[in-house]
Structure 1
Amino acid sequence: MKTAFTVSSNREQNPFKDLIILAVVFGFAFFQRLGQIPLLDSDEGRYAEIPREMLERGDFITPFLNYVKYFEKPPLHYWLEAISFKIFGFSEFAARAPGALMGLCGVLFTYHVGRTVFGRRAGLLAATILGTSLGFVVIGRYNVIDMTLTFWMTATLGCFLLAVHDRGRRAGLYYYLFYVAAALTVLAKGLIGLVLPGGVIVLFMILTRRWRLLREMRLPTGTLLFLLVAAPWFILVSLHNPEFPRFFFIHEHFERFLTKVHGRYEPPWFFIPVLAGFMLPWSFYLPSAIRGMWQERHTPTGGARLYLLLWGAVIFTFFSLSSSKLIPYILPVFPAVALLVGEFFSRVADRRAPFPTLPTVLAAAVLTIGGAGGILFPHLARNPKLSVLAGAVIGSCLLAQGIAAFVGLRRKKAAVLLVSFGLFSYLLGIVGPPFILARTAERKSFRELGQLVKEKAGPDTAVASFQTYQQGFSYYAGRRIIIVGDRGELDFGSRQGDQSAWFMDEQGFARLWDSGRPVIALIKEDALPGLKKLVTTPPRELGRKGKALLVANH
């Protein structure tokens, strides 16, 4: 059987057949049953509600969330969502499709970089490693900005590497694509689209003493192209909203990085287990790939390996030092790791690198123990997060990888590792997310309650969220929600203009509730006794989802 491990590394073979096969195989992983599970709060609901309001208002310059200004992120992901909604309608599939497409494009572009720089085999292996990294697939199927950011940052750093590597007539094209991709990265998530690629490139020039790249990279015309793509939105949104620059550039960049203002502090080592676990089992071989990079530093592709190491290290270090951390932040590191590990296994195939014995021993032990634990966990835990079927399926995939690692170790056959790791990680990426997210949806989805509002609420009905604001509830209700209590991330928008009718304290809401106007409120079960003490009109339950209730005064 011909596998990615045994195919030729010849760069001259036509890549389109490979791209089509990769697109079909991994397109299925990213898109299958994409709309089956309702949107989860808070991220998925938020990033669906903002483009829904864009389409409703016809304003694609100023982002709004719950109909107040929301400047935490630039608009690229919102624009992609709005396009998806226009094509597919308002659905869970449409909300998640842009992220899934960006994930698939990331796999295909990783293949292109690997094939161009290291050869066809390395490109196929790198794409397979990235596309079978469970964390990458799961986040790609989740409606968040980070996958959009990851693809465009990968395109930015990858195009620069391709330009440096090519040095022919296509180098100019790659440099200009580098500037366009950098501009889109900025439009995806702000200044890190400049800071992180800039840090990687500057360090690369320092360590390799290749200052001549400053003359080659078309700085004057490239900078103009970058500004033509990135600047118009920033100029327009600032002209329409004078308060934007201070909030976006100071609060959302410097204060987010340097302070704990967003309440997302984690220790500096936080991303180490995240990277290791989300790229399991491939992460076991990253140390070997890095060591091999040093041993091969004087070869023609030694500079490319150094560049990939800097790519991963700069981004990893930046987010590790930040005072604000969330799991998806580390996603732009994954393509660099996939390329390093894929190139390492390609050298193992050519016998230019020894069989990775120690990493395989660790992989075999961890995967076997993890697989057995996954199977037994639903039977032993008091309140398991996985069903018996989910534990059996996920645990079996891990256990099969562990057994295959033992077989590959005994025979010293890397092909056994690659085929088994790739196959069972692919299966895990298909069956795992629906199992995991289905249980999560029981706690973090408000689709049923939001749709109930559409059925029960008339045009004069006030809809409120009492001491809990869930963006998915707004999305599914399709209307503005009165916020009672903590304003959370809407605090900035609530202070722009007179929003007193939409942001209330408990006493103000009690007056509204007893005013005779129809009111429907989303409330957590444990907050209901407090509401009953505040109001005269007793709340009537309309619906329930987990610990969330929908109550009315009529």
Structure 2
Amino acid sequence: MYLALSAGTLSKGLVGLIIPGMVCSLYLLLTRKWSALSKLYLLPGALGCLALVVPWYLWAETRNPGYLRYYFWDEHFIRYLTDEFKRSKDWYYFSGVLALGFAPWTALLPFAAHRLWRNWDDGNLFLGLWVVLPMVFFSASKSQLPHYILPIFPALAILTGRTVAALFQKGMINGKRWLLYFPWAVTAAAIAGIAARAFWPALFSAGLQKKIPDGGFMLAGCGMALIVFHGVCIAANARGLWKDQRGMFTCSLVSATAFFLLLALWFETGSFRRSTKELARNLSPLIAPESQFATYDTYVTGLLFYLGLERPIWVVAQRGKAKSLGSPYVARFRPAPAPGYGKVFFTYEEFRKAWESEPRPVRLLLGANTVSRFNNTVGVRTKELLRADGYILATKP
């Protein structure tokens, strides 16, 4: 447990302690089971956590002075209490994230909540707190991203599984077989919408088309096959052809497998659309190993990974910019690269001088819509080498 707390703190900061801490604390407060604390070995566990966590933070501060203040103050309190990071959503934002993230079993959550309300034992209380407290905590934050509530999904899965298991244990499943088909009926409706968008896009307005994912004809075809299979299962159950549980489990197994295969295909399609791999492939032949790569007021996620450059790039941006390379810390402190590589962060004036004096070939990447601003702020002559995906690669004339 303490190893997991240490890993959570190293990866997510104080939230790695706050979330499990407030769930366990409120559970003990409500149940008054304070004797459980004696079984947790709090002192040895706390010392073990400190031994694992503190050296890394000290090493990070040594390598990057100012890191601890930025990390604990800006990334925790400023992020939670203010909208400085521009990620504030409506108070109900995480309800939508939960509904989509727990699909297709979201359809069973009302039944799980009903059972939880009627069977309020200690186990269900702990699971309920595990779900509700993180939801409330992150909903109150001024910075919200979908993955913040990932820790609640194991509790949701356990609650839902206990609901279905209770029906089997009490012999009530025969009258409620439809409960196991219900998630797949909802899934079939969603897939039908995706299929309709692929085959008949004219049925949807331009705004609605953007909200419904385009999975392509292959995804739509597989989805329709799943709908047909699901319909056969429901019809067989309605006619009493399946007297035992094998039919239900067969339907659920095939549906779950197909659902995750479709989900993987969908994400693969979306990932290729968002990937910068193709842009890197176009740029690579024009960036020699001995050349210096620079970016002007732009940050293309994943591009540097696909380019595989062996030396730090030059980052050209005016001081006071909120982010650099996608990071507020980098913009504020401009940390030095590995020893021996020299200066990497340049203001417009500094880059103008470096552009003229640098003996190596310089390859500059800038957005096509920032050319006029570049001419006004830097004002050096360039030669365009490539224009692709809204970006321009330029060099000295």
Q: TM-score range by the shorter chain?
A: 0.7 to 0.9
- Structure 2 unaligned spans of 5+: 337-341
Alpha-carbon deviations, 1:482-539, whole Å to 9, x = none? 2233544444334446879533445654555566752212233333455467655343
What SS does structure 1 have at the residue aligned with 2:195? helix
Counterpart in 2 of 1:102?
none
**1:491–1:278 CA distance, 2 compared to 1 (3 A):** closer
Pick 1 or 2: higher relative contact order, CA cutoff 8 A, min separation 6: 1
- Give aligned-pair identity as a percent: 25
The answer to whether 1:311 aligns with 2:154 is: no
The answer to whether the 8 Å contact 1:208/1:303 transfers is yes
The CA distance in 1 between the partners of 2:269 and 2:371, in whole Å, is 27
> What's the TM-score once normalised by structure 1's chain length?
0.59
Match of 1:463 among 293, 308, 311: 293
Any residues of structure 2 matched to 1:515-530 within 5 Å, and which?
518-528=361-371, 530=373
Counterpart in 1 of 2:107?
284
Q: Which of 1 and 2 has greater Rg?
A: 2
> What's the TM-score once normalised by structure 2's chain length?
0.79
Match of 1:445 among 275, 280, 283: 275
Counterpart in 2 of 1:428?
259
Residue 229 of structure 1, CA deviation: 2.5
Match of 1:386 among 201, 208, 215: 215
Of 375-384 and 212-221, deviating more is 375-384
Residue 210 of structure 1, CA deviation: 0.9
Amino acid at match of 2:190: G
Amino acid at match of 2:315: I
Counterpart in 1 of 2:82?
259
Counterpart in 2 of 1:493?
330
The CA distance in 2 between the partners of 1:438 and 1:415, in whole Å, is 34
Any residues of structure 2 matched to 1:353-392 within 5 Å, and which?
363=183, 366-381=186-201, 385-392=214-221
The CA distance in 2 between the partners of 1:426 and 1:361, in whole Å, is 14
Amino acid at match of 2:345: F
Q: State the number of aligned residues.
A: 371
The CA distance in 2 between the partners of 1:207 and 1:484, in whole Å, is 55
Residue 360 of structure 1, CA deviation: 6.8
Amino acid at match of 1:282: W
Amino acid at match of 1:387: G
Residue 205 of structure 1, CA deviation: 0.8
Alpha-carbon deviations, 1:281-324, whole Å to 9, x = none? 21111222232234333xxxx32222112111112221121111
Match of 1:198 among 2, 14, 21: 21
Question: Over aligned residue pairs, what C-alpha RMSD do you find?
Answer: 3.4
**1:251–1:540 CA distance, 2 compared to 1 (3 A):** same
**1:327–1:410 CA distance, 2 compared to 1 (3 A):** farther
Of 400-409 and 332-341, deviating more is 400-409
The CA distance in 2 between the partners of 1:398 and 1:550, in whole Å, is 48
Counterpart in 1 of 2:159?
340
The answer to whether 1:187 aligns with 2:10 is: yes
Of 526-535 and 270-279, deviating more is 526-535
The CA distance in 1 between the partners of 2:244 and 2:84, in whole Å, is 51
Counterpart in 1 of 2:339?
none
The CA distance in 2 between the partners of 1:399 and 1:343, in whole Å, is 29
The answer to whether the 8 Å contact 1:482/1:502 transfers is yes
Amino acid at match of 1:539: K
**1:349–1:549 CA distance, 2 compared to 1 (3 A):** farther
Match of 2:345 among 503, 507, 514: 503
What SS does structure 2 have at the residue aligned with 1:212? helix
Any residues of structure 2 matched to 1:213-292 within 5 Å, and which?
213-292=36-115
**1:530–1:493 CA distance, 2 compared to 1 (3 A):** closer
The CA distance in 1 between the partners of 2:140 and 2:228, in whole Å, is 35
Alpha-carbon deviations, 1:139-187, whole Å to 9, x = none? xxxxxxxxxxxxxxxxxxxxxxxxxxxxxxxxxxxxxxx1221112111
